[in-house]
Structure 1
């Protein structure tokens, strides 16, 4: 076998490094950190690159929406509750930063258990073998009754469960996202896929009531989306359900004539999923908005973003 001759490198045409456009320069570098820095100082010290720029942009978009009286909607999976972020979100509602919250069905389960017992999230692997997963009596009875009552009274799931929690006198209502939202007048919508939540295996589950109340919440969520021009949608921790709900609500309101084009979407999760990237970050913002993706653990990224927004608002008030 005859090997080819080595390629002649001497003919390579070169140019000066100083004349070449480059993506990174010293002006993009991070700055040294110091103890006692404010969040705003920390963000300013981060490199002017990639996710650091996105984090700054996300905080600025939320702050601008709040200052301009535009909505900031939060669509979130139940994992956000399970990692202990209710106090942060409740504080954002108290401050008037969150205009509305959309949950999947598991959100009401974990939120109600926090209110009732101060704890949630069972060890599935330990109990699934005996068929005990999801069989907590109090959870099933309370929530299925709240769902039936909401449907009978023409209320959505979020409103009905929030009202039922607020009236129940449970010991940890101050930590309940839905009870707090109901008391503050912040709309919560709940979007259920039947069979995905533990309360659906209980004898009190009423499919007609679940569907009626959840479909009403979809229509209410669409009303919130119809006013999203100039606002922000924060999407945290739902891989499939809520991206699909948002996309359908968005096409519905555009179909009937609402202009929802220039707004910001921020997807936050600890891994990159197809549907949030496509149906939250990319497709909805093609008409002139901006989509941002931040990868990181909820228990770190959500408080960090919240702190950045609070300091941005404080700086704007002081200016």
Structure 2
């Protein structure tokens, strides 16, 4: 058998300060108290209806889940989501790996986004030391504590780093509790040989982090990355086992939240693939568990999809298109209409306009 490859360990990284970043969050962040952009019908009515559904869901103590894509972060919606968190309108947030990356970069440096076209051909796309170091160390430390990736990164921001156990304490835990569920993660943390100088990074703009706000207000934020999908893989510290453990923990938390979705609201904002894919597996598991408990399947939930692209030129209210129609392959439409038939609204618009309008409507509730 060939020896295992570890090519990422040879990656040469540069300081984030050397990168030309395209987005300054201080300049682009939407101010929740400002007037939302004017939108015409039917979108304005859809936003009002969504706000009413959220109010009703929270009144009956049902879940309100929001799965957002990375562009929601890049578009400056961080303060809008922070207000939804602080005011108790959302009970669970979720994103994919890129959502966590941009969130951390804004908290640390106040800037994010780079040119793939310019940097990948010269081997510099994603190869920024602080980003990969922070997220992988947060995952290593969080995995050894039984935490998820979202909470681990949010905690890293809140504490300006990690405070891992010393080697002696880790060895003692491993030797005295060899059968503990965290033993493998503790061994990974020990083997990582983290230097004290690597453990601290000062975050100058934590107020622009959704993960930080979620940790601060004890609202779950789960992260759902893919191995190799995100730039924290472009780093010598890349630790797929730690990323996998923390992401696995987050998926379990997502399933638990899904179990409370009956009578609630699920918002899929700017996530055409990750949100519907994670939703359908969690939805199935939640219903499997309910069946074992003698409970009926989840129902009476509403799904609101927010995306700027059209829905494939198909009227989804009439049913699913045939397999030879291009719209059939729009995962963000097909999955949700299958799992919430008759209870899906599609808000085709810029996510800033929808979220800003939604916050404005909820402020009056």
* Same-fold call, TM cutoff 0.5: yes
C-alpha displacement of 1:54: 2.9
Contact (CA 8 Å) 2:136, 2:242: kept in 1 or not?
no
Paired residue for 2:76? 84
Confirm or deny that 1:300 pairs with 2:353: yes
* Secondary structure of 2:112's aligned partner: coil
User: Which of 85, 89, 94 in structure 2 is aligned with 1:97?
Assistant: 89
C-alpha displacement of 1:126: 2.5
Paired residue for 1:278? 334
Structure 2 vs 1, CA of residues 52 and 299 (structure 1 numbering), >3 Å: closer, same or farther? closer
Paired residue for 1:228? 261
Number of residues of Structure 1 aligned to a counterpart in Structure 2? 266
Cα deviation, 1:93-131, whole Å, max 9, x if unaligned, reads: 111111110110111110110010011111222322212
C-alpha distance in structure 1 between counterparts of 2:129 and 2:214, whole Å: 25
* Secondary structure of 2:347's aligned partner: strand
Which has the larger displacement, 242-251 or 166-175?
166-175
Cα deviation, 1:278-307, whole Å, max 9, x if unaligned, reads: 122x11213xx6111100111222211221
Confirm or deny that 1:179 pairs with 2:171: no
Paired residue for 1:267? 305
* Secondary structure of 1:189's aligned partner: strand
C-alpha distance in structure 2 between counterparts of 1:260 and 1:125, whole Å: 44
C-alpha distance in structure 2 between counterparts of 1:200 and 1:272, whole Å: 32
Greater C-alpha radius of gyration = 1
C-alpha distance in structure 2 between counterparts of 1:297 and 1:232, whole Å: 20
When the two structures are superposed, what TM-score results if normalisation uses the length of structure 1? Answer: 0.79
| Structure 1 vs Structure 2 CA RMSD | 1.8
C-alpha displacement of 1:161: 1.1
C-alpha distance in structure 1 between counterparts of 2:45 and 2:88, whole Å: 25
Confirm or deny that 1:138 pairs with 2:109: no
C-alpha distance in structure 1 between counterparts of 2:149 and 2:121, whole Å: 31
C-alpha displacement of 1:53: 3.9
Confirm or deny that 1:310 pairs with 2:310: no
Q: Which has the higher contact order (CA 8 A, sep 6+)?
A: 2
C-alpha distance in structure 2 between counterparts of 1:213 and 1:138, whole Å: 20
Structure 2 unaligned segments of length 5 or more: list them: 1-34, 161-201, 312-329
When the two structures are superposed, what TM-score results if normalisation uses the length of structure 2? Answer: 0.69
C-alpha distance in structure 1 between counterparts of 2:61 and 2:236, whole Å: 45
Contact (CA 8 Å) 1:72, 1:98: kept in 2 or not?
yes
C-alpha distance in structure 2 between counterparts of 1:222 and 1:131, whole Å: 38
C-alpha displacement of 1:142: 0.8
C-alpha distance in structure 2 between counterparts of 1:200 and 1:290, whole Å: 38
C-alpha displacement of 1:189: 0.6
* Secondary structure of 1:154's aligned partner: coil
C-alpha distance in structure 1 between counterparts of 2:52 and 2:331, whole Å: 25
* Secondary structure of 1:256's aligned partner: helix
C-alpha displacement of 1:150: 1.2
Which has the larger displacement, 226-235 or 254-263?
254-263
Cα deviation, 1:17-46, whole Å, max 9, x if unaligned, reads: xxxxxxxxxxxxxxxxxxxxx98xx88xx6
C-alpha distance in structure 1 between counterparts of 2:82 and 2:44, whole Å: 26
Paired residue for 2:321? none
C-alpha displacement of 1:52: 4.4
* Secondary structure of 1:69's aligned partner: coil
C-alpha distance in structure 2 between counterparts of 1:210 and 1:248, whole Å: 20
Confirm or deny that 1:209 pairs with 2:242: yes
Paired residue for 2:280? 247
